[in-house]
Amino acid sequence: MRIPINNIKLNPGRRTTEPEDVENLAKSIAELGLLNPITINQDNTLIAGRHRLEAAKLLGWTEIECIVRDLQGLQAELAEIDENFVRKNLSIIDFGNLLLRRKEIYEILHPETKQGMRNGQTAKNENSSVLKAKSFAQDAADKLGVSSRTVEIQIQTAKNLTPTTKEIIRDSHTKVTKTNALKLSRLEPEQQEDAATQLVTGEINSVDEYKPYSVGNKIYHTFEESVADLKNPDKDCSCTPDMFLIALDGLIDNFHRDFAWYDEPECVAIFPQISEKQFEFVKKRVATVTSALEGLVEKIEQSLQSES
């Protein structure tokens, strides 16, 4: 059902929204529409979908699509989702969306399990139910017969895939593996969509084969495209301060994007297994990176001082 946005009430104490997330969501909704209605109870109080609501307001909407639920209704929907998980023909996108919805419902029904509530912040002044309740990841893992870390990875994949990337995969009816979906989710949005298109059309068989060629903030989607640009007789190949900064900035951006993988749960999990000898190797290799960057900064600084 659709109801006027002005009729929707917010409970005091709800978490504030992130303006950047609202803006990004508004762009997605403007392009694809509201894929998931917000959830309200019978007196029009918002249960789930604060960012979607704020995005709709940002777009100037006066009405929004809603699902009306009470707590019993949410419990029934949770049971329905758990039943859907056993379907053999569930796509990676549908599975991820169901998992996101399950998390949303579970944390409404068990607000004490939200991040930050189980790490000791409430243990001193709340009853023992806070500590007894399972986290969403553990509860979902028990239902699915997998590890909680697997659930966390699947949640991150579903959250980080852009709506456009999800539509590309869903519309193609091509089976995309969990591994490829995870790797897609770690790419920048534009690269996600380009790689997903190549994946579902069979141009590449794995996201590992996707090679966006970039110089600074200029991305070439194919090797042929980069070669054509290099052969362009009108291309100015001289190095300028701006070109230098663009190339360096692009290099560092790529580094940060790729390096983020080393902070993912599945990677952090193996840290305790690293031997002393392996750790020494890590330190030496990392030192070569920091030394090279410090050397570059030192050369630039010396050049500036000699000119002054």
180, exposed or middle or buried, with CB in 10 Å at 0-12, 13-18, 19+?
buried
Q: Is 248 a domain residue?
A: no
Q: Is 217 a domain residue?
A: no
d(CA 1, CA 135): 32
In this prediction, residue 78 carries a pLDDT of 84
Percentage of residues in the chain with pLDDT exceeding 90?
Answer: 24
CB 55 within 8 A of CB 31: no
CB 107 within 8 A of CB 86: no
More confident residue, 289 or 237: 289
Label residue 231 by pLDDT band (50, 70, 90): low
Secondary structure of the chain in HEC code, one letter for each residue: CEEEHHHCECCCCCCCCCHHHHHHHHHHHHHHCCCCCEEECCCCEEEECHHHHHHHHHCCCCEEEEEECCHHHHHHHHHHHHHHCCCCCCCHHHHHHHHHHHHHHHHHHCHHHCCCCCCCCCCCCCCCHHHHCCCHHHHHHHHHCCCHHHHHHHHHHHHHCCHHHHHHHHHHCCCCCHHHHHHHHCCCHHHHHHHHHHHHCCCCCCHHHCCCEEECCEEECCHHHHHHHHHCCCCCCCCCHHHHHHHHHHHHHHHHHHHHHHHCHHHHCCHHHCCHHHHHHHHHHHHHHHHHHHHHHHHHHHHHHHHC
Question: What distances in angstroms separate CA 119 from CA 116, 122, 137, 268, one per listed residue?
Answer: 6, 8, 15, 19
pLDDT at 161 over 90: yes
In this prediction, residue 120 carries a pLDDT of 38
Least confident of 91-95, 115-119, 230-234, 280-284: 115-119
Same domain, 20 and 145: yes
d(CA 240, CA 224): 25
**Among 76-90, 139-153, 219-233, 239-253, which range has the highest average pLDDT?**
139-153
Structural domain count of the chain: 2
**Among 24-28, 46-50, 224-228, which range has the highest average pLDDT?**
24-28
Same domain, 6 and 137: yes
Q: Is 122 a domain residue?
A: yes
Q: Among 160, 195, 216, which residue terminates a domain?
A: 160
Q: Among 110, 143, 160, which residue terminates a domain?
A: 160
Q: Is 241 a domain residue?
A: no
Percentage of residues in the chain with pLDDT exceeding 70?
Answer: 81
Q: Is 268 a domain residue?
A: no
CB 79 within 8 A of CB 66: no
Give the pLDDT confidence of 98-153 residue by residue, as tens digits. Answer: 899 899 889 888 888 876 554 434 444 444 444 467 889 999 998 888 888 889 99
Average pLDDT over residues 151-165: 91
Give the pLDDT confidence of 109-118 residue by residue, as tens digits. Answer: 888 887 655 4
pLDDT at 194 over 90: no
More confident residue, 229 or 74: 74
Q: Is 173 a domain residue?
A: no
Least confident of 181-195, 240-254, 279-293: 240-254
Domain that holds residue 107: 2-160
Task: Give the pair of three-digit tokens for residue 185.
Answer: 């989710």
Q: Among 114, 138, 160, which residue terminates a domain?
A: 160
CB 163 within 8 A of CB 35: yes
The CATH number linked to 10 is 3.90.1530.10
More confident residue, 182 or 233: 182
Give the pLDDT confidence of 241-260 residue by residue, as tens digits. Answer: 766 777 787 788 778 877 88
Q: Is 212 a domain residue?
A: no
Least confident of 166-175, 235-244, 257-266: 235-244
Average pLDDT across the chain, whole number: 81
Q: Is 119 a domain residue?
A: yes
In this prediction, residue 226 carries a pLDDT of 56
